[in-house]
Amino acid sequence: MAMLDIEALGISFGGLKAVDNFHVQIEKNELYGLIGPNGAGKTTVFNLLTGVYKPTSGHILLDGDNITGLSCEEINKKGIARTFQNIRLFHNMSVLDNVKAGLHNHYTYSTLDGILRTPKYRKLEKEMDAKALEILKVFDLQDFVDYKASNLPYGQQRKLEIARALATEPKLLLLDEPAAGMNPSETEELMRTIRLVRDEFDMTILLIEHDMKLVSGICDRLTVLNFGQVLKQGKTADVLHDPEVIKAYLGD
């Protein structure tokens, strides 16, 4: 069974079909790329997968579970987490607290427990501190736990955003242009980080990216979108050398 199975997915805004008959199957532990020209519908697909938009057609199965049309919160609890092209951290919170924010799917206590600092509150906070630190160590961010997120360099902010997403314990991680704004050195480090996430967390990853060096370096397979429709799917090297893809995405 595929980790993600999408069939005939579509959405229209007025008379415009932003995504039409989108289909893909992504296997567990696969590192899969979604590419295409600007305006091709890539982020719209992510918005459909995470409940920001409700599809007008098709279905989405996550590990065999139909999540079509669920809310953002419900989909996150089912096992999809996401990062954004423009980093969205809690900038005035500490690095540790940013990751702990992602843990609240699995660690809960009442408002009264929090106000009174009950034994349950102290126990769960201690467990969350330990779990968040464990995740941060994977990203070499353990020495920055007390830093404000806004004080981290750009590349480390990107890693922190991924760490926070992983704190929700997803089955599928969506990365929306993770290399945006990065220099070549930061992109190389990001590639290593994404591979580490896949291996260390036994993660399935779907990413949108315009950096073809990153795409060709880490993605097992690709789907190319053009005008909201699937243009090509297959192994990364085959897709990137396809004449139709070169014409539509890379230019003549």
Per residue in 169-186, pLDDT (tens digit) is 999 999 999 998 888 998
Q: How many alpha carbons lie under 13 Å from residue 164 in its C-beta half-sphere?
A: 26
> Which stretches within the chain are classed as H helix?
42-49, 72-78, 95-103, 111-116, 119-138, 154-166, 184-200, 212-218, 236-240, 243-245
205-239, pLDDT tens digit by residue? 999 998 989 999 999 999 999 999 999 999 999 99
| Band of residue 44 on the pLDDT scale cut at 50, 70, 90 | very high
What are the tokens at 238? Answer: 């085959």
Whether 104 and 90 have beta carbons less than 8 Å apart is answered as no
- Specify the pLDDT at position 84: 86
Range 28-54+66-79+170-252: architecture per CATH: 3-Layer(aba) Sandwich (3.40)
- With a cut of 70, say whether residue 114 has pLDDT above it: no
Q: pTM of the predicted model, to two decimals? A: 0.90
- Specify the pLDDT at position 38: 85
- Which own/partner pairs from 154-158 qualify as long-range (CB within 8 Å, at least 24 positions apart)? 154/87, 154/181, 154/182, 154/186, 155/182, 155/186, 155/189, 155/190, 157/87, 157/89, 158/83, 158/87, 158/182, 158/186, 158/190
51-72, pLDDT tens digit by residue? 999 999 999 999 999 999 999 9
Strand pairing class (172-176; 80-82): parallel
Q: Could you state, in order of their start, the residue ranges of all structural domains in the chain?
A: 28-54+66-79+170-252, 90-164
